[in-house]
Amino acid sequence: MTSKKELIEAANRQAVEKMIASRPFVVDVKPAIEAVAGMKERMVCHAGPPLELDEMVPSFKHAIFGGIMWELWAKTPEEAERLIRDGKVAIEPNHHHNGIGTMAGITTPSMPVFIIEDRTHGFRSTANIREETVKALRYGCYDENVKRKLDWNRDVLGPVLSAALRECGGIDMVPLMGKAMHMGDDGHNENRAANLLFCMQLIPHILKTDFSKDVMREVATWMNTDTRFVSTAEMAVCKAITLAAHNIENCSIVTTMCRNGTYTGIRVSGLEDQWFKAPAPEVNLLFFPGYGPKDATKDCGDSCVTEVAGIGAFAMAAAPGMVQFVGGTVADAINYTKEMYEITTAKNTNWTIPYLDLQGCPIGIDIIKVVKTGLTPHINTSIGHVQPNVGQVGAGMTRAPLKCFADALEAFGKLMGA
C-alpha cells in the first residue's frame, strides 16, 4: 500500500515537473474585458486575497476608486465608493481571474493587459501594464498625469504592442528570463536585463507595423524609460507557470501567494481554491528620502507570484547588486536563495544562478517543509505610502507569515486523513 508520504511526494514531483515544463509566451495585449478570464463590464480586479472595502488601507482603496473614475463610472472617490457599496461595481482578486497586478493591482475592463500563453499546457494568464514609475495608480495615486498615462496605455501603447506581438508570433519568455538572470536580474524587483532583452526582440517588430514614426518612437522610448516595463509580463509568466501546478490531488505545493496591504493569502495545489490568510507583514524597508516607517503600507501586491515560481527573493543570489535597492548585504542575498532550497521541492534548470555553480532556482514551495522548518518564503518588494496620492516610499525585504502555511497544513492534513 502506498504511504501518505509517497502519495504527497509523487504529487509534488508532478507539480514541479509541470512548472518546469511550462513554456509561457507573451502573445498579445488586449483590453482586459476581452482578455481577462471572467472580467465583467463593471468590475475592478485587485491584488491579494479577497477582502472587504472596510478592511483596505486608504491608498489601496483609493487605487480602486481611481480605476472606477478612470473608467468614467464615477466622478469622485465618494461616488466610486457608493457604486461598490450598492453592488453596482464588483471588486474581485486578480487571482480569481488567472491574472496578476502589482501593488494594489488595479485591473479594469478598458485597461490593456499582457496576455501570456503557456504553449506546453495551454494555460493563459494576464497582467496589467505599468503606467508610471513612482506616482502611479497601483500605489493609490490618481491625478491628471496618471489619467493621461492610463489613457495613453489604452489608446497608443496597447494597440502598438498588440500589433508587434502578433507580427512576431509571441515572445518566448522562459529563455529570455533565464538569460536576464545571468545578467543580474532576480525577476521581481530587478528587471532591467529582461527589459533590454524584451525591447531587443520586440522593437524591430514594432518598426514593421503601420503606426506613424512618432507613435513608434513614443512607445519605444517609454519601454526604455520605465526600466521595469516588462516586469508585469514576467509576473504573468510566473502566474502561468503556477497554474500548471494547481489542482493536483495530494499535492502540498503553494500555487498562489499574494498580499493586499491588509492580508497575505496563499492557495495550495491539492486544496482547490481555498484561501489561507493572515495579516500582511511589515516590510523591512530602505526608504526614499523624506519617508519613514509610519508612511508605509504593509506588504502588498500580486508580484510575489515570482517567488512562487522560484525567482524574486528566491533568486537573489543571481542579483546581489539589488541589495542597494532592498537593503542588506551581498551575503544576505546569497543566503536568501540558499535558505529557500530548504522549503522547496526542486531546482528549476531553466533558470540557473551562476554564482551558485549554475544551480537551478529553488521552485515549488511545500507547505509541509515550511511548517516543519519554520522557514517562510522570503519576498523582496516595493512599498507605497499608506495615504492616497503619494506613491512609492521605498523597497525592502519581508517574509510571508507562517500562519498561512500552518492553517493550510491543518486543512491538508484533514484532507489526507492525518
Residue ranges binding another protein (CB under 8 A)? 3-5, 8, 368, 371-374, 402, 406, 409-410, 413, 416-418
Q: Which is nearer to another protein, 82 or 372 (CB)?
A: 372
Give residues with Cβ within 8 angstroms of 195, minimum separation 6.
223, 224, 226, 227, 228, 229, 230, 231
Q: Which is nearer to another protein, 247 or 335 (CB)?
A: 335
Closest approach of another protein to the CB of residue 418, in Å: 3
Q: Which is nearer to another protein, 199 or 416 (CB)?
A: 416
Q: Which is nearer to another protein, 5 or 217 (CB)?
A: 5
CA distances from 12 to 68, 123, 128 (A): 41, 19, 30
Q: Which is nearer to another protein, 3 or 225 (CB)?
A: 3
Q: Which is nearer to another protein, 55 or 342 (CB)?
A: 342
Q: CA angle 206-209-214, nearest 5°? A: 75
Q: Which is nearer to another protein, 8 or 180 (CB)?
A: 8
Closest approach of another protein to the CB of residue 377, in Å: 16
C-alpha cell at 333: 542575498
Closest approach of another protein to the CB of residue 335, in Å: 11
Place of cell 523582496: 380
Closest approach of another protein to the CB of residue 378, in Å: 15
Closest approach of another protein to the CB of residue 406, in Å: 6
Closest approach of another protein to the CB of residue 13, in Å: 15
Closest approach of another protein to the CB of residue 283, in Å: 22
Closest approach of another protein to the CB of residue 279, in Å: 18
Closest approach of another protein to the CB of residue 344, in Å: 15
Closest approach of another protein to the CB of residue 379, in Å: 20
Q: Round to whole Å and give the CA distance between 417 and 238.
A: 32
Q: Which is nearer to another protein, 90 or 406 (CB)?
A: 406
Q: Which is nearer to another protein, 229 or 341 (CB)?
A: 341
Q: Which is nearer to another protein, 85 or 338 (CB)?
A: 338
Closest approach of another protein to the CB of residue 172, in Å: 37
Give which of 178, 197, 196 is closest to 187, Cα–Cα: 178
Q: What is the 3-state secondary structure (H, E, C) of the chain?
A: CCCHHHHHHHHHHHHHHHHHHCCEEEEEEEEHHHHCCCCCCCEEEECCCCCCHHHCCHHHHHHHHHHHHHCCCCCCHHHHHHHHHCCCCEEEEHHHHCEECCCCCCECCCCEEEEEEECCCCCEEEEECCCCCCCCHHHCCCCHHHHHHHHHHHHHHHHHHHHHHHHHCCEEHHHHHHHHHHCCCCCCCCCHHHHHHHHHHHHHHHCCCCCCHHHHHHHHHHHHHCCCCCHHHHHHHHHHHHHCCCCCCCCCEEEEEEEECCEEEEEEHHHCCCCEEEECCCCEEEECCCCCHHHECCCEECCCHHHHCCCHHHHHHHCHHHHHHHCCCHHHHHHHHHHHHHHEEEEEEEEEEHHHCCEEEEEEEEHHHHHHHCCCCEEEEEEEECCCCCCEEEEEEEECCHHHHHHHHHHHHHHCCC
Q: Which is nearer to another protein, 220 or 402 (CB)?
A: 402
